[in-house]
């Protein structure tokens, strides 16, 4: 080949390479990430909410959503975003998950959590753990490091310790606000009051400043659904369950298909509310089935299950949901649900009451 020909080939190859690099650089990512978060549903009403309490919840939702969005924006997986957000909530006494969890009638904090990967239908769940600081990370470890889907109680905590997850004294989860709320409920119902838990700080001399209206925290579970740039959706939920629960009661949150579900074939859902109804209806899977079998848009499927099927049973609560094509939804039949959502390139939306979008 002559030198002229060689130069020509070299130039052509260079142009081709540059063009393909430019095309590659211009190509939008396969999927725009999206995230939807809840911090529990319940009797959360503007009329009885103090401005300070409302501001505290909005700030917490803002921080959580930004953390999740940051993970997804850096190309992180939906599972990573979910775990990062829920770990923050589990450390925040505002929410009924991890530290800040409600008490059982026996005066304990028993924590439940689940996570599910929509790309392969793998799932991990734990119920009744009392020593693992971040139950959502334990649920993920069950999914990724054990041959099982669900572990309970002391065995689940032992597995957590074995895989190196932080263990704490059960009193770590104690908050005065939740303790007083338990005592109040048990007194009203004429039930025995358990001993103040060992390791709890001394009882305050005066009453606590009313931080929120009574019953606002009947619920307070946290949950996240996310779509990552690879197009995978996932769901995660973490809770202390319902206040004054007895006999090792477990709600919907760690039950795959009830309070938590994800499949790239349909949708990902995390629920909050009176778990017994959500278990009976298989709420999370029911919504995804309507998307999969009936081809319903996500919002319509969610509203049908929450406003028709759940209400028909007199159940209360709500859900957040997402699809691999980026539909985001929330639906609840309570006066409020702490919630936030954001899509890549879009604005972060934070809402509390049912008269907000
Ligand atoms: N669904 C949870 C449970 O029944 C409670 C909640 O969402 O607040 O355990």
Residue 275 burial (C-beta neighbours within 10 Å; 0-12, 13-18, 19+): buried
Residue among 239, 257, 316 to mutate when testing ligand 1 (max atoms within 8 A of CB): 239
pLDDT tier, 3 (very low <50, low <70, confident <90, very high otherwise): low
SS3 331: strand
237-252 residue pLDDT tens:
999 999 999 999 999 9
125-164 residue pLDDT tens:
999 999 999 999 999 999 999 999 999 999 999 999 999 9
269-292 residue pLDDT tens:
999 999 999 999 999 999 999 999
Query: H or E segment at 150?
Result: strand 150-152
Distance CA 148, CA 144 (A): 9
Give 79 Cα–ligand 1 centroid separation in angstroms. 21
Q: Which atom of ligand 1 is nearest to the CA of 250?
A: 9
76 against 31, higher pLDDT = 76
Strand order in the sheet with 336-343: 150-152, 122-129, 111-117, 233-239, 222-227, 34-42, 336-343, 349-353
Residue with tokens 């995230």: 35
Which pLDDT score is estimated for 31? 86
Distance CA 272, CA 155 (A): 26
Q: Which atom of ligand 1 is nearest to the CA of 273?
A: 7
pLDDT tier, 27 (very low <50, low <70, confident <90, very high otherwise): low
Residue 228, both tokens: 């990552």
Residue 251, both tokens: 């709600």
Which pLDDT score is estimated for 47? 84
221 included as an active-site residue = yes
Using alpha carbons, select from 349, 350, 295 the residue that is nearest to residue 323.
Answer: 295
Give 221 Cα–ligand 1 centroid separation in angstroms. 6
Let me know the angle formed at the C-alpha of 15 by 9 and 18, rounded to the nearest 5 degrees: 140
Cβ-contact 50, 327 below 8 angstroms: no
Cβ-contact 54, 211 below 8 angstroms: no
Torsion, Cα of 142, 145, 37, 301 (10° steps):
-70
Using alpha carbons, select from 337, 334, 267 the residue that is nearest to residue 307.
Answer: 334
214 against 311, higher pLDDT = 311
Give 281 Cα–ligand 1 centroid separation in angstroms. 14
pTM here is 0.90
Residue among 178, 243, 253, 278 to mutate when testing ligand 1 (max atoms within 8 A of CB): 253
Q: Which of 132, 221, 272, 334 is catalytic?
A: 221
Listed in sequence order, the residues at least 6 apart from 31 whose beta carbon sits closer than 8 Å to its beta carbon are 227, 228, 229, 230, 231, 324, 326
Distance CA 297, CA 283 (A): 16
Residue ranges lining ligand 1, Cβ < 6 Å: 40, 96, 219-221, 239, 241-242, 251-253, 259, 272-275
Which pLDDT score is estimated for 220? 83
Listed in sequence order, the residues at least 6 apart from 66 whose beta carbon sits closer than 8 Å to its beta carbon are 348
Let me know the angle formed at the C-alpha of 77 by 72 and 83, rounded to the nearest 5 degrees: 90
Which pLDDT score is estimated for 212? 52
Distance CA 238, CA 37 (A): 12
């Amino acid at each position: 080949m002559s030198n002229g020909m060689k130069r020509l080939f070299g130039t052509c190859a260079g142009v081709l390479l540059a063009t393909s690099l430019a095309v590659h650089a211009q190509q939008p990512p396969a999927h725009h990430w999206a995230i939807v978060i809840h911090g529990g549903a319940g009797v959360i009403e503007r009329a009885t909410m103090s401005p300070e309490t409302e501001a505290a919840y909005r700030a917490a939702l803002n921080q959580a959503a930004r953390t999740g969005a940051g993970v997804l924006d850096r190309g992180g997986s939906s599972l990573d975003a979910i775990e990062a957000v829920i770990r923050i909530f589990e450390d925040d006494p505002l929410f009924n998950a991890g530290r800040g969890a409600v008490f059982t009638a026996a005066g304990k904090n028993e924590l439940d959590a689940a996570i599910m990967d929509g790309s392969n239908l793998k799932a991990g769940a734990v119920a009744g753990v009392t020593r693992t600081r971040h139950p959502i990370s334990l649920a993920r470890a069950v999914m990724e490091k054990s041959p099982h889907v669900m572990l309970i109680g002391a065995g689940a905590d032992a597995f957590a310790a074995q895989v190196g997850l932080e263990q704490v004294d059960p009193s770590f989860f104690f908050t005065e606000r939740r303790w007083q709320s338990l005592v109040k409920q048990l007194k009203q119902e004429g039930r025995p009051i358990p001993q103040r838990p060992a390791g709890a700080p001394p009882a305050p001399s005066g009453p606590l400043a009313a931080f929120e209206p009574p019953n606002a925290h009947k619920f307070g579970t946290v949950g996240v659904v996310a779509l990552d740039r690879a197009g995978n959706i996932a769901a995660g939920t973490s809770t202390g369950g319902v206040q004054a629960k007895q006999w090792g009661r477990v709600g919907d949150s760690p039950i795959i298909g009830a309070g938590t579900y994800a499949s790239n074939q349909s949708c990902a859902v995390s629920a909050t509310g009176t778990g017994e109804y959500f278990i009976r209806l298989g709420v999370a899977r029911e919504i995804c089935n309507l998307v999969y079998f009936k081809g319903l848009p996500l919002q319509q499927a969610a509203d049908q299950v929450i406003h028709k099927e759940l209400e028909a049973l007199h159940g209360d609560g709500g859900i957040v949901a997402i699809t691999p094509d980026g539909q985001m939804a929330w639906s609840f039949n309570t006066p409020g649900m702490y919630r936030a959502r954001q899509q890549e390139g879009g604005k972060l939306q934070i809402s509390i009451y049912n008269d907000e979008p």
